[in-house]
Every structure is written in C-alpha cells, then in structure tokens.
C-alpha cells in the first residue's frame, strides 16, 4: 500500500492524543467513510468538552465496533453521563485532559485545566459538606453568581469556600490545604500570567517544577482530593481507547504488514 507511511503518521498522532491532526491525515487518505474516521473525530470533540458533538459523530458509524474493543465501548458508554454533567465522570475527564496536556508538553494548557478542576472540586466539596446533594455540574448552582448567593458568600468566591470548608475540619481541611495551599496558589499565580488567563507569558516545565517538585506531584495531590471527596478514580480512558484505534488501523488497514514490506 503506497500510503503506508501516512497510516503510520495517523498512529503516531493518535498516540499523542492529537486527534485533530489524525483526522486531517485520514481525510488526505480519503477515509471519511471509515468508522475509525468518525471515532477519531469524536475523540477530538470530546477532548474539547464538546460531548454533544462527539455523540453526533458516533451516530454516523453504521457498523458498530466489536465489544472486544473495551476501550471504545467504554468511550461510547461514557458520553451520555458526560453530556448530563455527572460530577464523577466530568472530574475524571478533566483529570485525563490534564494528563494529556502534560504528556504533550503543553504546560500552559496544563495549568489552565488545573485551574478549572480546582474551582469545580472546591464547589463540589462545599455542596457535599453543606447539603450532601448530587447536583450535576450543569446545574445552575455551579454558576458563580448562583453559588455565591446560595451559600451567602460575600468576601470572594475562593475565600468564601475556604471559610465554609474550614469549619468542617478533618478531610475538609485537608482538601483546603491541597487546593488552596502555598504551592497550588503559586501555581495558579503562574497560570494568571499566561496567555490562557490575563497575561501573555507561557509556562514551562522548569517554571512548574520550581513551585512543585514535579508535575507528577501535582497529579498525586489531585488524586488525593478525589479520594477525600469519594470520587472514584478510573483508569485513563484515552489510553485504552488509543490502543483500540491503533489495533483497528493495524488490522483493518493492514498498516503493520505494509510497513514491513
């Protein structure tokens, strides 16, 4: 097959979670009608939190993938709760996204995703502490103005959440220590200087490691918060999904054999 190296490029792009780039190469190969094209396109939308769009593309697949591809099955099954805004699914999706930004050396976006997850986790913690209700993250209460009004916060969102959780002690105090402690605050100050926030700077691995011992330590701290909030930490969804995509590319499109010719 004369396009073997283009298929290899698709595999390399998928391995780096660059689904947009993979889609472009698949289009160059005129594979817009292949199920894998719709799946990879769906993944691109999902990574950008466009779950409605991701679902629409999955509906274009006429022949379902075999259930032996457990990563694909799981990806498809998780779209509805993500659309609904189920907290556990959204938090895990954000965590997966953070890991992907790290693996792609996109440290500015890495900080941006942490900022989003941090605020949502703190709001979720306050709701669990005060009301123990299971709102979806799309519920109005998660909007800043509604949240401030509901919990009668008058001295800033972050300070207000800290004051509420501090009264609980125990695991609530531990959550505050991680999410609003000196290292995390300095990390967020760094984020505020970047192009994803209020500045024009970019973040580097050196910048992050100067504040935290390493990015992996940040991930471990976030996992700890998940545990304090009884949020199940599932295996990274896109890792197994990518393995399935590559299996299909390697078998249905005979990439491996052609590359060896």
Q: Give the percent of the chain with pLDDT over 70.
A: 95
User: What does the pLDDT read at residue 257?
Assistant: 45
Is the pLDDT at 229 greater than 70? The verdict is yes
Is the pLDDT at 222 greater than 70? The verdict is yes
Scanning the chain, the segments in alpha helix (DSSP H) are 4-15, 19-28, 35-47, 51-58, 70-84, 87-103, 107-130, 144-150, 157-166, 170-179, 182-192, 205-211, 215-228, 237-252, 255-260
Instruction: Report the chain's mean pLDDT, rounded to a whole number.
Output: 92
In the chain, what are the domain boundaries? 4-85+238-260, 105-230
The predicted model gives 47-69 an average pLDDT of 92
Is the pLDDT at 219 greater than 70? The verdict is yes
User: What does the pLDDT read at residue 63?
Assistant: 83
pLDDT digits (tens, 9 = 90+) for 130-158: 998 889 999 999 999 999 999 999 989 99
- In this prediction, residue 253 has a pLDDT band, given cuts at 50, 70 and 90, of low
- In this prediction, residue 251 has a pLDDT band, given cuts at 50, 70 and 90, of confident
User: What does the pLDDT read at residue 148?
Assistant: 96
- In this prediction, residue 249 has a pLDDT band, given cuts at 50, 70 and 90, of confident
- Specify the higher pLDDT residue, 251 or 258: 251
The predicted model gives 94-102 an average pLDDT of 96
Following DSSP, what letter does each residue of 35-82 receive, concatenated? HHHHHHHHHHHHHTT-HHHHHHHHTT-SSPPPTT-HHHHHHHHHHHHH
Taking each helix axis as running N to C, give the angle between helix 157-166 and helix 170-179, from 0 to 180 degrees, rounded to the nearest 10.
150
- In this prediction, residue 5 has a pLDDT band, given cuts at 50, 70 and 90, of confident
pLDDT digits (tens, 9 = 90+) for 154-208: 989 999 999 999 999 999 999 999 999 999 999 999 999 998 888 888 999 999 9
Q: Are 137 and 242 in contact (CB under 8 A)?
A: no
Instruction: Give the Cα separation of 33 and 49 in Å (integer).
Output: 24
User: What does the pLDDT read at residue 254?
Assistant: 57
3-state secondary structure of 46: helix
Ranges 105-119, 219-233, 246-260: which has the least confidence: 246-260
Please tell me the pTM assigned to this model.
Answer: 0.91
- Specify the higher pLDDT residue, 66 or 231: 231
User: What does the pLDDT read at residue 143?
Assistant: 95
User: What does the pLDDT read at residue 3?
Assistant: 65
Q: Are 211 and 107 in contact (CB under 8 A)?
A: no
User: What does the pLDDT read at residue 1?
Assistant: 40
User: What does the pLDDT read at residue 99?
Assistant: 96
């Amino acid at each position: 097959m004369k396009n073997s190296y283009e298929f290899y490029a698709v595999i390399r792009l998928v391995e780096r979670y660059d689904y947009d780039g993979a889609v472009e190469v698949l289009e160059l190969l005129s594979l817009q009608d292949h199920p894998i094209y719709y799946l990879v396109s769906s993944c691109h939308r999902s990574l950008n939190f466009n779950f409605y769009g991701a679902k629409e593309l999955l509906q274009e697949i006429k022949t379902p993938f075999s259930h032996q591809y457990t990563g694909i099955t799981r990806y498809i099954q998780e779209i509805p709760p993500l659309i609904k805004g189920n907290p556990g699914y959204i938090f895990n999706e954000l965590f997966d996204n953070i890991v992907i930004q790290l693996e792609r050396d996109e440290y500015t976006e890495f900080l941006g995703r942490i900022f989003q997850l941090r605020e949502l986790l703190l709001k979720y913690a306050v709701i669990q502490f005060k009301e123990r209700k299971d709102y979806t993250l799309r519920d109005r209460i998660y909007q800043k103005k509604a949240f401030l009004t509901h919990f009668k916060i008058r001295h800033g969102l972050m300070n207000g959440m800290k004051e509420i959780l501090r009264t609980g002690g125990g695991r609530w105090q531990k959550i505050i220590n991680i999410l609003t402690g000196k290292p995390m605050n300095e990390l967020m100050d760094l984020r505020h200087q970047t192009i994803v926030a209020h500045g024009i700077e970019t973040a580097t691995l050196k910048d992050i490691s100067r504040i935290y011992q390493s990015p992996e330590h940040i991930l471990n701290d976030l996992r700890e918060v998940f545990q304090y909030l009884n949020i199940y930490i599932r295996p990274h969804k896109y890792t197994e999904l990518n393995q399935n995509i590559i299996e299909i590319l390697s078998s249905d499109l005979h990439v491996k054999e052609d590359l060896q010719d």
